[in-house]
């Protein structure tokens, strides 16, 4: 499999180097040592590439293997050195910039800030001034810092938590691309609020710009139990919907090379504009990068492997920020797309349907099932539950999500035509209400969720090894590969039994 997808192998090695280095190497001198090793491996890699020998061709592969692992280690060690969770105990005055809207707690407001190139969480006591804090406000505060737990600090780039203290708002920080994107996102939310749909506003905000603040706990739970919680997060689904419309509208220009170049430029502008108005969410940036790379390969009618493109995007994000490896959204989104790339076509080819409607439903079920295959172990590990009726939920609800997105776009674009605008808003409200109704009904089905008391990381690893061995066996025609599957099943069973016994 890795022979067909070399970039996937390189990305796996990079992630392995990041994980191993972050787990086992914490000495401050490790970075210098690993930089020296990386330099030596680079020289050996260049020498083996220049003086090629068929007899010793394995040397290049082995050195490249070690180089990627060491490179991942250097990345995470450098990140730790720059974003070390140590603060000067004698320092009390800090300056920071608010990155996101504040989240209300029982007695405080919590917001994420950038302080000394590090991201920290700030807890500010509730009062009339703190309630008006908004993104990209520049704050000077007097406080004490603490270092969070190791696992929690990874989500904060390995930094600390700011306790409550005295603070003053110095106005807005210097304008940036991210700040402009957040302002645009806020303006869109204000327009949606003026549409006067209090019951449906939470769902519309989530689907339009990824803002789930208006969704209550019951709504989030119902979407999760119905197996369609993924539609609430900005992801490849939303970008794919817009991409599909662009492909349809620009199809007349795709007959010539110049037309395909123009089509790619238009897609680049539109898709990045969508990423901009959604606040440049990481999941949207991932999806936009994948779509544009795929379209770039189609300019000259060359077929680029989607798995290689996915791996390239994942590798680029890990190089930019190694601790993305521990981000749940990063893991779930890439595993879902990878699973769809591997499992969708074999599942879809199992049944051939001539009826277009039935064929569409079967393909939709195959996509949903393929995504669940790749994400189910992680969902059980992180959230301790698994939705039973995910196929039904995706069959009934997912097809309505594009309709809601199109109605949202039409509602924005027809604001200058009051009669048409009123009609679009009515259709949007009814569709959003129907989606909420379906979600509530499915979530209330008996035994809608399977709950797990505890799922160990070892069990998750064994499950993925088991799935990979099955895919490896069916994708290869050699009988010897069946032995590999049996060995993996036996080894995984022994490991899981020993893990259960130890618990």
* 479 vs 282, residue with greater confidence: 282
Q: What is the mean pLDDT of residues 375-390?
A: 83
Q: Is residue 412 within 8 Å of residue 191, measured between CB atoms?
A: yes
How many Å apart are CA 486 and CA 472, to the nearest integer?
12
How many Å apart are CA 460 and CA 496, to the nearest integer?
10
469 closest CA partner among 456, 480, 454: 480
Q: What is the mean pLDDT of residues 439-465?
A: 80
Q: Quick one: pLDDT at residue 350?
A: 82
Condensed to tens digits (0 to 9), the pLDDT of residues 32-79 reads 888 888 888 888 888 877 776 666 677 777 888 888 888 988 888 887
Query: Reduced to 3 DSSP states, what percent helix, strand and coil does the chain have, rounded to the nearest 5?
Result: 65, 10, 25
* 302 vs 257, residue with greater confidence: 257
DSSP label of 333 = H
Share of the chain above pLDDT 90, in %: 3
Give 477's Cβ-side CA count (13 Å radius): 0
Condensed to tens digits (0 to 9), the pLDDT of residues 410-435 reads 888 888 888 888 999 999 999 999 99
DSSP strand pairing (161-162 vs 118-125): parallel
Q: What is the mean pLDDT of residues 489-498?
A: 56
DSSP symbols for 122-186:
EEEE-STTGGG--TTEEEEEE--EE---HHHHHHTTS--EEPS-EEEEEEEPPP-HHHHHHHHHH
Token pair recorded at residue 243 = 């991409």
Q: Quick one: pLDDT at residue 500?
A: 43
Give 343's Cβ-side CA count (13 Å radius): 22
Token pair recorded at residue 45 = 């890699």
How many Å apart are CA 238 and CA 229, to the nearest integer?
13
Please, what is the Cα angle at 230 between 226 and 232, to 5 degrees?
Answer: 95
> CATH: 2.20.70, 2.40.50, 1.20.144, 1.10.3470. Which one for 93-174?
2.40.50
| 127-131, 151-155, 204-208, 264-268, range with the lowest pLDDT | 151-155
């Amino acid at each position: 499999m890795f022979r067909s997808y070399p970039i996937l192998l390189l990305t796996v090695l990079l992630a392995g180097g990041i994980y191993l280095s972050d787990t086992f190497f914490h000495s401050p001198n490790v970075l210098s040592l690993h930089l020296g090793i990386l330099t030596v491996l680079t020289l050996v890699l260049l020498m083996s590439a220049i003086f090629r020998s068929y007899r010793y061709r394995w040397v290049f592969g082995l050195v490249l293997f070690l180089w990627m692992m060491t490179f991942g280690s250097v990345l995470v060690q450098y990140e730790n050195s720059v974003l070390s969770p140590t603060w000067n105990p004698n320092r009390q005055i800090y300056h920071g910039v608010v990155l996101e809207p504040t989240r209300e707690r029982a007695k405080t407001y919590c917001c994420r800030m950038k302080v000394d190139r590090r991201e920290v969480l700030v807890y500010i006591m509730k009062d009339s001034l703190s309630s008006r804090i908004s993104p990209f406000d520049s704050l000077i505060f007097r406080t004490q810092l603490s270092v969070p737990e190791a696992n929690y600090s990874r989500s904060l780039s390995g930094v600390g938590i700011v306790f409550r203290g005295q603070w003053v708002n110095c106005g807005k920080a210097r304008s940036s691309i991210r700040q402009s994107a957040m302002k645009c996102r806020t303006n869109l939310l204000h327009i949606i609020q003026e549409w006067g749909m209090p019951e449906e506003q939470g769902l519309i905000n989530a689907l339009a710009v990824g803002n789930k603040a208006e969704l209550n706990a019951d709504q989030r739970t119902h979407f999760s139990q119905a197996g369609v919680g993924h539609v609430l997060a900005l992801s490849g689904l939303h970008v794919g919907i817009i991409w599909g419309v662009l492909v349809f509208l620009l199809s007349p220009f795709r007959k010539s090379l110049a037309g395909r170049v123009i089509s790619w430029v238009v897609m680049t502008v539109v898709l990045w504009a969508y990423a901009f108005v959604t606040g440049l969410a990481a999941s949207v940036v991932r999806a936009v990068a994948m779509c544009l790379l795929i379209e770039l390969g189609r300019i000259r009618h060359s077929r680029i492997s989607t798995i290689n493109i996915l791996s390239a995007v994942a590798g680029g994000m890990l190089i930019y920020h190694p601790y993305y490896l521990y981000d749940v959204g990063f893991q779930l989104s890439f595993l879902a797309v990878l699973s769809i790339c591997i499992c969708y076509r074999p599942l879809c080819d199992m049944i051939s349907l001539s009826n277009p409607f039935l064929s569409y439903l079967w393909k939709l079920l195959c996509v949903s099932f393929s995504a669940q295959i790749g994400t189910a172990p992680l969902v059980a590990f992180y959230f301790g539950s698994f939705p039973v009726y995910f196929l039904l939920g995706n069959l009934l609800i997912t097809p309505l999500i594009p309709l809601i997105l199109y109605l949202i776009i039409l509602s924005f674009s027809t604001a200058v035509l009051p009669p048409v605008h009123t009609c679009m808003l009515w259709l949007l409200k009814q569709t959003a209400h129907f989606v909420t109704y379906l979600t509530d009904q499915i979530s209330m089905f008996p035994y809608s969720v399977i709950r797990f008391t505890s799922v160990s990381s070892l069990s998750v690893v064994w499950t993925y090894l088991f799935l990979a061995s099955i895919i490896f066996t069916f994708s290869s025609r050699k009988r010897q590969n069946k032995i590999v599957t049996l060995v993996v099943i036996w080894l995984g069973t022994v490991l899981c039994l020993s893990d259960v016994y130890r618990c």
